[in-house]
């Protein structure tokens, strides 16, 4: 035991944080307990520039390596969002409802680390009533534009009031520093990290801050943090519309699609037109979703529903295109529940964490109603059906008038010498377009982009060929050849 304790102390000294190893204990949920997961917390500084100032708590869960003799180390997982709790998804790996290969589970402790402000880590709480009654993100008049600015500011201040200064420090550079503190506390000299979607932005920040602490970093569904707000919006708008069109074409040829044989585009456009402006009254929402349901609600939810075309039916966790088609079918028949925004039920809800992060992570260029109109015209010209109502648009509009300083504005990622890094993206990803992956790959000198010639957002949890190539990288540090393209 003694050498281990000394090692733990040394590591915590090296990490420069107050952590002295981790105390693993029982997890809070029955599913985690019955599947043998354990849980731990660690304290990190709220502000990494003031390491001995106020501390916050990060939470994590762990699936221990199934073959301790073959254990390589820990593999930290991030579920994306921003705002998604990694502990939830790692719990799903643990009970087999979401894919993680036996090979990885044999060689690694799988760590679900909830980023600061998210999941079980020191949470961001906000006024849920304000959240449930937002201003329109499509202001048409100066009065509506001023209302949006006021709303964003009031909402942000409601979070400050409940959560304190944490709301000013959930930027991704701070998250990457937290992750390095966790690496050290886990006793790992080098990190292994699987970042999904927004998690790739954490990986990019980590590669710049700690290039010497990397063993393997996987960027799955890639965010390019160097893009301007307009380019982000334009590229995501095109990607969402492209994927929508592919969904409609798929439904037209797959007899299993719940909308097979129907004119989907016409019904979809009619629904969106009816929901424009003040929205469609949805009594079926009854306390579970926001009513009236606006075009923004439907288009935002539908983008998320396109995330996976199909998955092995034994994995029940994510929605697939069948579910998306079914949600639309119900909506066409008058029940909007599955295309409406879920209502927050209290100040601890989890709808707003992503906004908190994005408002600190990107420079926001919109400063007038005229700017909004330019955006809206750009969106409609590129995307007659989905109208550019993609995450990037919401991020821009929800941050206008934000009262806290941007801490990690967009810029190129230019790490010093790193080990080889692996990026993965599908060609038809409606949330992180392929161009974002190509863009980040150009910035990371020592990296390979693995292309999946298929649909949907992120690849690892589909369990296909790309997952096996990712496994080989994590386990053996071998990369696929440049320009490798796989179908699954």
Ligand X SMILES: *[C@@H]1O[C@H](CO)[C@@H](O)[C@H](O)[C@H]1NC(C)=O
| H-helix or E-strand spanning residue 131 | helix 128-132
Selected from 335, 413, 443, 484, the binder of ligand X by CB under 6 A is 335
Using CB under 6 A, pick the residue from 228, 256, 263, 273 that binds ligand X: 263
**Candidate segments 44-52, 136-144, 426-434, 469-477, binder of ligand X by CB under 6 A:** 469-477
Write down the least CB distance from residue 286 to ligand X, Å. Answer: 8
Among 23, 34, 133, 476, binds ligand X (CB under 6 A): 476
**Can you tell me the distance from the alpha carbon of 169 to that of 48, in angstroms, rounded to the nearest whole number?**
9
Residue 283 Cβ vs ligand X, minimum distance, rounded to whole Å: 8
Instruction: Copy the structure tokens of residue 430.
Output: 């409606």
- Which of residues 446 and 478 has its CB atom nearest to ligand X in the complex? 478
CB of 271 to ligand X, least distance (A): 13
Residue with Cβ nearer ligand X (263 or 316): 263
The residue within the footprint of ligand X, chosen from 475, 479, 480, 486 (CB under 6 A), is: 475
Residue 471 is a binding residue for ligand X (CB under 6 A): yes
Query: Among residues 295 and 475, whose Cβ is nearest to ligand X?
Result: 475
The only residue of 88, 294, 303, 338 in contact with ligand X, by rule CB under 6 A:
338
Whether residue 357 contacts residue 171, with contact meaning beta carbons closer than 8 Å, is answered with yes
**Cβ pair 364, 402 in contact under 8 A:** yes
472 near ligand X, judged by CB under 6 A? yes
Least spacing, CB of residue 408 vs ligand X, in Å: 34
- Find the shortest distance in angstroms from Cβ 258 to ligand X: 12
Rounded to the nearest whole angstrom, what is the least distance from the CB of residue 244 to ligand X in the complex?
Answer: 14
Binding residue for ligand X (CB under 6 A) from 29, 265, 304, 413? 265
In this complex, which beta carbon is closest to ligand X, that of residue 189 or of residue 286? 286
CA distance 170 to 407: 9
DSSP 67-109: -GGG--EEEEEE--TTT--HHHHHHHHHTTSS---HHHHHHEE
Contacts for 170 with CB less than 8 Å, ≥ 6 apart: 115, 116, 117, 118, 124, 353, 356, 357, 360
Min dist CB 337 to ligand X, Å, is 4
Q: Does 217 bind ligand X (CB under 6 A)?
A: no
Q: Is 229 helix (H, G, I), strand (E, B) or coil?
A: helix
Query: Can you tell me the distance from the alpha carbon of 260 to that of 253, in angstroms, rounded to the nearest whole number?
Result: 7
- 3-state secondary structure (DSSP) of residue 463: coil
Q: Which of these segments, 19-27, 141-149, 219-227, 472-480, binds ligand X (CB under 6 A)?
A: 472-480
Q: The tokens of 450 are what?
A: 């693995």
Nearest to 470 by CA among 193, 92, 94: 193
Torsions phi, psi of 423, nearest 5? -105, 145
Smallest distance, ligand X to C-beta of residue 326, A: 8
Least distance between ligand X and beta carbon 330 (Å): 6
Please, which residue, 41 or 101, has the CB nearer to ligand X?
101
C-alpha span between 391 and 398 (Å, rounded): 10
Sign of CA dihedral 315, 317, 318, 320: positive
Shortest Å distance, C-beta 468 to ligand X: 7
Count of residues of this chain found to bind ligand X when the rule CB under 6 A is applied? 13
Cα–Cα distance between 469 and 486 in angstroms, integer?
A: 10
Q: Which residues contact 431 (CB under 8 A, 6 or more apart)?
A: 197, 221, 236, 239, 240, 303, 307, 390, 391, 457
CA distances from 242 to 3, 163, 457 (A): 57, 40, 13
Task: Tell me which of 337, 376, 413, 443 binds ligand X, using CB under 6 A.
Answer: 337
22 counts as binding ligand X under rule CB under 6 A = no
Site string for ligand X, 89-118 (x = CB under 6 A): --------------x---------------
Nearer to ligand X, 396 or 467 (CB): 467
Residues 281-300: x/- map of binding to ligand X (CB under 6 A)? ---x----------------
- Pairing relationship of beta strands 55-63 and 108-113 according to DSSP bridges: antiparallel
Contact status: 266 vs ligand X (CB under 6 A): yes
Sign of the four-CA dihedral 197, 202, 207, 212: negative
Residues lying near ligand X in the complex (CB under 6 A) are found at: 103, 263, 265-266, 284, 330, 335, 337-338, 471-472, 475-476
């Amino acid at each position: 035991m003694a050498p281990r304790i000394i090692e733990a102390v040394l590591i915590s000294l090296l990490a420069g944080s107050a952590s002295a190893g981790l105390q693993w204990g029982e997890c809070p949920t029955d599913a985690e307990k019955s599947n043998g997961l354990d849980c731990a917390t660690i304290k990190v500084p709220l502000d990494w520039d003031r390491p001995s100032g106020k501390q916050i708590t990060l939470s994590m869960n762990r699936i221990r390596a199934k073959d301790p003799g073959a254990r390589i180390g820990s593999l930290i997982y991030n579920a994306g969002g921003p705002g998604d709790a990694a502990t939830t998804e790692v719990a799903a790996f643990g009970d087999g409802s979401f894919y993680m290969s036996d090979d990885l589970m044999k060689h690694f402790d799988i760590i679900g680390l909830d980023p600061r402000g998210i999941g079980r880590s020191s949470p961001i709480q906000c006024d849920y009533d304000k959240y449930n009654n937002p201003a329109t993100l499509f202001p048409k008049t100066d009065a509506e534009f001023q209302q949006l600015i006021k709303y964003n500011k009031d909402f942000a201040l409601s979070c400050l009031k409940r959560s304190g200064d944490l709301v000013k420090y959930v930027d991704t550079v701070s998250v990457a520093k937290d992750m390095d503190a966790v690496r050290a506390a886990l006793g790992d000299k080098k990190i292994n990290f699987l970042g999904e979607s927004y998690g790739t932005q954490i990986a990019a920040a980590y590669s710049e801050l700690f290039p010497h602490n990397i063993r393997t970093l996987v960027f799955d569904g890639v965010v390019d943090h160097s893009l301007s707000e307009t380019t982000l919006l334009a590229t995501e708008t095109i990607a969402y519309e492209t994927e929508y069109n592919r969904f409609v074409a798929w439904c037209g040829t797959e007899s299993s699609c719940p909308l097979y044989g129907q004119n989907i585009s016409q019904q979809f456009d009619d629904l969106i037109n009816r929901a424009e402006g003040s929205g469609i009254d949805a009594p079926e929402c009854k306390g579970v979703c926001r009513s009236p349901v606006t075009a923004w609600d439907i288009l935002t939810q539908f983008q998320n529903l396109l995330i996976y075309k199909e998955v092995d039916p034994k994995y029940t966790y994510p929605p697939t295109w069948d579910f998306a088609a079914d949600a639309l079918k119900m909506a066409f028949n008058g029940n909007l529940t599955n295309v409406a925004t879920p209502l927050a039920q209290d100040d601890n809800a989890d709808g707003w964490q992503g906004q908190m992060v994005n408002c600190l992570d990107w420079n926001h260029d919109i400063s007038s109603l005229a700017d909004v109109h330019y955006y809206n015209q750009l969106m409609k010209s590129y995307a007659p059906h989905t109208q550019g109502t993609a995450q990037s648009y919401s991020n821009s509009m929800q941050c206008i008038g934000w009262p806290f300083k941007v801490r990690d504005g967009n810029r190129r990622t230019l790490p010093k010498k790193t080990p080889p890094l692996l990026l993965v993206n599908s060609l038809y990803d409606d949330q992180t377009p392929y161009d974002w992956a190509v863009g980040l790959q150009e910035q990371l000198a020592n990296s390979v982009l693995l292309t999946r010639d298929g649909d949907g957002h992120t690849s690892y949890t589909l369990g296909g060929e790309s997952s096996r190539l990712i496994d080989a990288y994590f386990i053996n540090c071998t990369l696929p050849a440049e320009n490798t393209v796989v179908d699954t």
